Chain A
Amino acid sequence: MIEAVRLQKHYGKTKAVDDLSFTVRPGRVTGFLGPNGAGKSTTMRMILGLDTPTGGDVTIDGKHYAQLKQPLRKVGALLDAKWVHPNRSARAHLKWLAVSNKIPVSRVREVLEIVGLTEVAHKNAGGFSLGMSQRLGIAGALLGDPEVLLFDEPVNGLDPEGILWIRQFMHRLANEGRTVFVSSHLLSEMAQTAQDLIVIGKGQLIAQTSTEQFIADATQDTVRVRSPHAAKLREILAAHATVTDDSASGSLVVHGIAAQQIGELAAENQIVLHELSPQRGSLEEAFMQLTKESVEYHAH
């Protein structure tokens, strides 16, 4: 279990992480969601003792990372796949990691097998594609067979096959009872990967909830209606729901009542309908709506 209590990280006047509290539970994949620059990586670095918090505290099973005797056996992390010397072979990279935590060197071959890098183990990591680098990073994280796993944007830049592989892999790790904490700036990705979500923006907590709940709360179901008698229909529907005009397509967007009721109302009033289609709110739109205030850099 990872527990952050009022965690803060300030750089001068910039508050990268601001009074952030959350818990990450074992046996589940917990998504750490937020737009770019929200403070996800900074938070992860503080969990791992790389950065010192300005205030607050973060612990792993009640201990600071620095207090762990052989940390790789407790916590496996992939913060950046490029944290490898380009002229060092994948095997040598994993070997020194293993030796540092008294992990049997035979484990190196096992993790290379797990991530499918056995064939290129002797090759220099500098020549690896992004996907291969990610796999090597994951191999490093798995080396000590840790209970807690942290991944920072693991699917960034991966092809669909790689994304699927990582997604299934994280589920397997969580099913084994491990704590899996994975960050992303894509809600659609998290919706398919994480069971729980911790959503942050501008370093502050926006929500900590199950993914299902978050999506239900964040997305609104609407119905698109097109009719030659739009004005009349609008009048009728306004009594039951919120109606907005979609001027681009000349249709009405109705929020608050179901498509079935709209159809019945139209029939009662003898209004011809050309389209009646329920719309599921897009996750990305909802997420943007939620984090709009907290996005650091806007495009204009």
Chain B
Amino acid sequence: MTLLAVERIKLFSTRSPYWCSALALVLGVGLTAIIAASTDNGQLSIGVTQFGSSQLALSVVLVMAALAVTTEYRFSTIRATFLAVPNRTSALVAKTVVVAFIAAVLGEIIAFGSVGMAKLLSPASDLAINTSGEWRHVAGVGLLYGIGAIIAIAVGILVRQTAGAVAILLVWNMLLEQLIGIIPKAGVKIQAWLPFMNANHFLQLGGDNTAEQAGAGIDFKLSQWGSLGYFAGVAIALLVVALIVAKRRDA
């Protein structure tokens, strides 16, 4: 608990998490607002409210989580941290827990904020969250953010530089996994096992809008919750590697 308090103080005594959270909120909810504004009243569905949160805002949250680690390396406060807490694994796990929790909460705020924004701009549309699939599609965004944050922190620990870590995360999430689909035949099969693709699969609502959603056309071998488990598994595995490296490396 002590270490969680330490990481909380550290995170909230600098400005970048506030800025990133605000930016993620504006982008996530803002995109929904644009979609809602350009759709005829009454035609909006739950399935189109989460484009902003699950794509655009997610990238900002990944950057925020990576920054939480890379700035520590950038300003060598990681050394001060390891002096105060020589058990590096517990210090870094505490940081991961705090950042992932904040990311998850932020994810819920953005997801439900987006639904709220859609309701506001398109009051005639049916935007009630009824089925378990709809709940997963909206509330699941928080889980996505939390797990994504773990991946971002792991990459941050491994790379140690802000620019490098951010580049890797953005290219990976926004470009690489999509581009692999271009490879004839094999591409789609590979995509079925890529972490962010599985994350999108978890959110998929099915029904009318399926074709428009990320991850459409890929033959996933896992169930939707299975895909989330897989995404989480990749995140934990990456974190374990990062923790081992951090423990062995000279600080």
Contact = CB atoms under 8 A, between A and B. Distances in A.
Interface in A16-53: 45, 48-52
Given A83-B79, A85-B14, 6 more contacts: A50-B251, A87-B15, A96-B9, A99-B5, A100-B6, A101-B84
B86 A96 contact: no
B85 A100 contact: yes
Given A51-B251, A83-B77, A77 B83 contact: yes
A100 B86 contact: no
Contact of A100 (B2, B13, B14, B72): B2
Given A50-B251, A52-B250, A65-B86, A82 B75 contact: yes
A50 B79 CA distance: 7
Contacts of A68: 86
A82 B76 contact: yes
B71 interface: yes
A50 B251 CA distance: 5
Interface of B: 2-3, 5-6, 9-10, 13-16, 71-72, 75-77, 79-87, 248, 250-251
A97 B79 CA distance: 12
B160 to A, nearest CB: 15
Contact of B71 (A71, A85, A93, A140): A85
B84 A72 contact: yes
A66 B87 contact: yes
Contact of B82 (A49, A86, A96, A102): A49
B13 A88 contact: yes
A94 B15 CA distance: 17
Say which size band chain A's interface belongs to: 20 to 34
Interface string A124-147: 000000000000000010000000
Contacts of B77: 83-85
- The 7 A-B pairs of least Cβ separation, nearest first, read A92-B13, A66-B86, A100-B84, A51-B250, A96-B9, A83-B76, A50-B251
A86 B16 CA distance: 12
B86 A49 contact: yes
Contacts of A77: 83
Nearest to A50: B251
A88 B248 CA distance: 28
B13 A71 contact: no
A250 B135 CA distance: 97
Interface of A: 45, 48-52, 65-66, 68, 71-72, 77, 79-80, 82-89, 92-93, 95-97, 99-102, 140
Contacts of B71: 85
A97 B84 contact: yes
B30 to A, nearest CB: 26
A101 B86 CA distance: 11
Contact of B80 (A49, A87, A97, A99): A97
Given A66-B87, A68-B86, A99 B2 contact: yes
A87 to B, nearest CB: 5
7 contacts: A71-B84, A77-B83, A85-B13, A85-B71, A85-B75, A89-B13, A97-B80
A71 B6 contact: no
A130 to B, nearest CB: 16
Given A82-B75, A84-B77, A100-B2, A92 B9 contact: yes
Contacts of B85: 100
Nearest to B12: A92
A88 to B, nearest CB: 5
A50 B82 contact: yes
B207 to A, nearest CB: 46
Contacts of A83: 75-77, 79-80
Contacts of B79: 50, 79-80, 83
Contacts of B16: 87
A239 to B, nearest CB: 59
Nearest to B14: A87
A51 B72 CA distance: 17
B246 to A, nearest CB: 12
B28 to A, nearest CB: 25
Nearest to A9: B250
B9 A48 contact: no
Contacts of A140: 80
A100 B250 contact: no
A96 B10 contact: yes
Contacts of A52: 248, 250
Contacts of A97: 80, 84
A89 B12 CA distance: 11
A230 B160 CA distance: 68
A51 B76 CA distance: 14
Of residues B2, B9, B82, B83, which shows the largest number of chain A Cβ atoms within 10 Å of its Cβ? Answer: B83
A96 to B, nearest CB: 4
B195 to A, nearest CB: 31
A50 B250 contact: yes
B87 A96 contact: no
Nearest to B71: A85
A97 B5 CA distance: 11
Nearest to B88: A66
